[in-house]
Chain A
């Protein structure tokens, strides 16, 4: 088994989860829970691939994906912020809407090949033994974008004035309102930004990591895993990144388990009985459940919680709790 390849591929596929999870963290920090990540990712994956395929320019594809994810998220923002609808149901319907839109507009794209995000190595860093090969050599550019995103978003949330407003809106909107922060505008903005990230994450699949359009199998539940990751990560971008990469690594590991005849000195059961592969395919989902159980008990010990106003609509003039 090639461990370096497993870690390399884990970082590359984990980038998708990282981007989507960071977007959802920003949205949830503003007090809006958007469960439609899967739908927005699908629309992003479709739009990214379709535009890249028809224009031949992969960057235009990325832009289209970002715009598509953002636009779709506005439906959620409108319904939950202005109409005060239930955020859970709205998020679910966003998933339906996104899936439907992606399938209808992506009709006929299956089997096509388009341009992909270029790859690059970072000079010097890629020379580090092992680590360089795993993290800094011959990755697509979005992987490096993910590295940059982490410190920037963390700094933004914790150290800047708009970041402070963002946290205030998610923790205590009534207090933020008295201090002159526009709650509605802030929530719209971060729901939109979360949608943009989800769209980008979808495109990261369709034009970089697994290029092509495979209808709803393109995203295949990764949007939901990203939502779970946010809870597991306690709304912290670094933990989300760690979780995302771990997921990527484990996913590749279970794929590679099927290859060799001999595994750890024993006959490999997955090689001799191919039906056992279905159990291997369950692992990401089982791991998500375990991660949630683990995350919830850790959160209770450390008294870390969700943003206090998560999921509750804000109505000016009504007393907030």
Chain B
């Protein structure tokens, strides 16, 4: 048996600028087509599912507001992943860092760390955000430290930490913080809620019922900051250099150990902030299911956006739509399926960016 290999790949440095956009969009479209075929095989009508998907996410301003709410944690996590992936650090632990961030933010209310009645709202929210970021970054520090000092595979460490973080949260919501035996804390007082559009329905009637909260602003600011770090700062240059060519970076005198830990912590802080916005802006309590695999979807968002912070904004909104719609679609695995196929197609399409592809003709033809 011989595997034919009639393609010659030639490394290329100068692929046209529009090509990444075309391949990404093509990959998403193709993913929908393939998923549609699988849906059809299982007996569902893909056109119905997709039109429902579109209506449920972009059909009205209210629906779109839900989409942005879902996109907020994806945006923050996707930004953190973009930064880490530039250094080829595979932080798959955003899920765990998200949960620890949510836990720390909840601690402000549940312990309580401040007097909730007298402290101004902005101070409570700032403290929650700060602790959320701290929690996420400290949790990511574990993986960063083990990677930097002992060269232990960070993927497995971060994954194991994910399971541990979920169980840690369970300990609190089933036990000490449980609301009369339910697996959740009491609802936070209004002073610990991130402001929502619906809060201003009296002034602007169109806002009534809109769940969009301030978290998206955190995400947009973070996108600008991450953009400045990556493209406009010396540190961002170092990160990219370490990722592309660690040997050259070492010769240039860049401290890889310190940067590994630091990038992990920044990435974890963003995931922790995502956890804070979710408890403070959406569910207003700590409970078991605060994440629908945001941590993992964030990985895909970052990759699909080619690690470009502004592209992360667009992609996370697209994936937010997928999450909103898939809440009601049966069977439940369909959003995982689409995400997995998309990622596969995106990484396959990278071959067009890195290589010039030439078809090698079989020897007989060239002889003629």
The answer to whether B150 touches A278, judged by C-beta atoms less than 8 angstroms apart, is no
Interface of B is mostly: helix
- Given A285-B163, A293-B152, A83 and B351 touching (CB < 8 A)? yes
Tell me which of B60-68, B258-266, B273-281, B342-350 binds A.
B342-350
Measured in the bound complex, the distance between the Cα atoms of B1 and A185 in whole Å is 9
User: Could you say which of A79, A83, A292 has the most chain B C-beta atoms within 10 Å of its C-beta?
Assistant: A83
Measured in the bound complex, the distance between the Cα atoms of B176 and A275 in whole Å is 9
Partner of A96, one of B5, B175, B300, B331: B300
Q: Is B58 an interface residue (CB 8 A)?
A: no
- Given A97-B337, A275-B171, A182 and B2 touching (CB < 8 A)? yes
Interface residues of B in 139-160 (CB under 8 A from A): 146, 150-153, 155-157, 159-160
Interface residues of A in 292-321 (CB under 8 A from B): 292-293, 296-297, 315-316, 318
User: Could you say which of A215, A278, A316 has the most chain B C-beta atoms within 10 Å of its C-beta?
Assistant: A278
- Given A96-B300, A107-B330, A282-B163, A292 and B336 touching (CB < 8 A)? no
The answer to whether A100 touches B333, judged by C-beta atoms less than 8 angstroms apart, is yes
Measured in the bound complex, the distance between the Cα atoms of B151 and A89 in whole Å is 19
The answer to whether B90 touches A221, judged by C-beta atoms less than 8 angstroms apart, is no
Determine the residue in chain B with the shortest Cβ distance to A224: B159
Measured in the bound complex, the distance between the Cα atoms of B333 and A224 in whole Å is 20
The answer to whether B343 touches A92, judged by C-beta atoms less than 8 angstroms apart, is yes
Q: Is B33 an interface residue (CB 8 A)?
A: no
Within the complex, the shortest CB–CB distance from A36 to chain B, in Å, comes to: 9
Contacts between chains A and B (CB distance < 8 A), count: 156
The answer to whether B339 touches A96, judged by C-beta atoms less than 8 angstroms apart, is yes
The answer to whether B350 touches A103, judged by C-beta atoms less than 8 angstroms apart, is no
Please encode chain B, from 156 to 174, with 1 for each CB lying within 8 Å of some chain A CB and 0 for all others.
1101110110011011001
Q: Is B334 an interface residue (CB 8 A)?
A: yes
Q: Is B180 an interface residue (CB 8 A)?
A: no
Count of residues in A whose CB is under 8 Å from the partner chain: 57
Interface residues of A in 269-303 (CB under 8 A from B): 273, 275-276, 278-279, 281-282, 285-286, 288-289, 292-293, 296-297
The answer to whether A90 touches B347, judged by C-beta atoms less than 8 angstroms apart, is yes
The answer to whether A97 touches B340, judged by C-beta atoms less than 8 angstroms apart, is yes
Partner of A93, one of B146, B167, B343, B351: B343
The answer to whether A83 touches B333, judged by C-beta atoms less than 8 angstroms apart, is no
The residues of A that contact B350 with a CB separation of less than 8 Å are 83, 85
Within the complex, the shortest CB–CB distance from A96 to chain B, in Å, comes to: 3
The answer to whether B160 touches A289, judged by C-beta atoms less than 8 angstroms apart, is yes
The answer to whether A89 touches B343, judged by C-beta atoms less than 8 angstroms apart, is yes
Measured in the bound complex, the distance between the Cα atoms of B350 and A316 in whole Å is 19
Q: Is A59 an interface residue (CB 8 A)?
A: no
Measured in the bound complex, the distance between the Cα atoms of B39 and A88 in whole Å is 28
Within the complex, the shortest CB–CB distance from A39 to chain B, in Å, comes to: 8
Within the complex, the shortest CB–CB distance from A51 to chain B, in Å, comes to: 16
- Given A100-B334, A231-B156, A293 and B146 touching (CB < 8 A)? yes
Q: Is A12 an interface residue (CB 8 A)?
A: no
Within the complex, the shortest CB–CB distance from B259 to chain A, in Å, comes to: 19
Measured in the bound complex, the distance between the Cα atoms of B336 and A276 in whole Å is 32
Measured in the bound complex, the distance between the Cα atoms of B168 and A90 in whole Å is 30
The residues of B that contact A296 with a CB separation of less than 8 Å are 150-152
The residues of B that contact A96 with a CB separation of less than 8 Å are 296, 300, 336-337, 339-340, 343
The answer to whether B38 touches A104, judged by C-beta atoms less than 8 angstroms apart, is yes
The answer to whether A79 touches B2, judged by C-beta atoms less than 8 angstroms apart, is no
The answer to whether A227 touches B339, judged by C-beta atoms less than 8 angstroms apart, is no
The answer to whether B3 touches A188, judged by C-beta atoms less than 8 angstroms apart, is yes
Measured in the bound complex, the distance between the Cα atoms of B3 and A168 in whole Å is 19
The answer to whether A75 touches B344, judged by C-beta atoms less than 8 angstroms apart, is yes
The residues of A that contact B300 with a CB separation of less than 8 Å are 93, 96
The answer to whether B157 touches A289, judged by C-beta atoms less than 8 angstroms apart, is yes
Q: Is B100 an interface residue (CB 8 A)?
A: no
Measured in the bound complex, the distance between the Cα atoms of B175 and A276 in whole Å is 9
Measured in the bound complex, the distance between the Cα atoms of B333 and A99 in whole Å is 7
Within the complex, the shortest CB–CB distance from A190 to chain B, in Å, comes to: 13
The answer to whether A107 touches B156, judged by C-beta atoms less than 8 angstroms apart, is no
Q: Is B299 an interface residue (CB 8 A)?
A: yes
Please encode chain A, from 75 to 88, with 1 for each CB lying within 8 Å of some chain B CB and 0 for all others.
10011001111101
Measured in the bound complex, the distance between the Cα atoms of B8 and A84 in whole Å is 12
Q: Is B303 an interface residue (CB 8 A)?
A: yes
The residues of B that contact A92 with a CB separation of less than 8 Å are 92, 296, 299, 343
The residues of A that contact B159 with a CB separation of less than 8 Å are 221, 224
Partner of A104, one of B157, B164, B334: B334
The answer to whether B167 touches A88, judged by C-beta atoms less than 8 angstroms apart, is no
Partner of B171, one of A35, A185, A221, A278: A278
**Chain A interface residues toward B at CB < 8 A:** 35, 39, 75, 78-79, 82-86, 88-90, 92-107, 182, 184-185, 188, 215, 221, 224, 227-228, 231, 273, 275-276, 278-279, 281-282, 285-286, 288-289, 292-293, 296-297, 315-316, 318
Listed from nearest, the 6 A-B pairs whose CB atoms lie closest are: A103-B333, A100-B337, A97-B340, A96-B340, A100-B336, A93-B343
A-B contact pairs, 8 of them (CB 8 A): A39-B340, A92-B92, A97-B336, A107-B42, A185-B2, A231-B156, A289-B157, A293-B150
Given A93-B343, A185-B2, A227-B156, 4 new contacts (CB under 8 A): A86-B347, A98-B340, A101-B337, A215-B332
**Chain B interface residues toward A at CB < 8 A:** 1-3, 5, 7, 9, 11, 38-39, 42, 90, 92, 146, 150-153, 155-157, 159-161, 163-164, 167-168, 170-171, 174-175, 296, 299-300, 303, 330-341, 343-344, 347-348, 350-351, 354-355
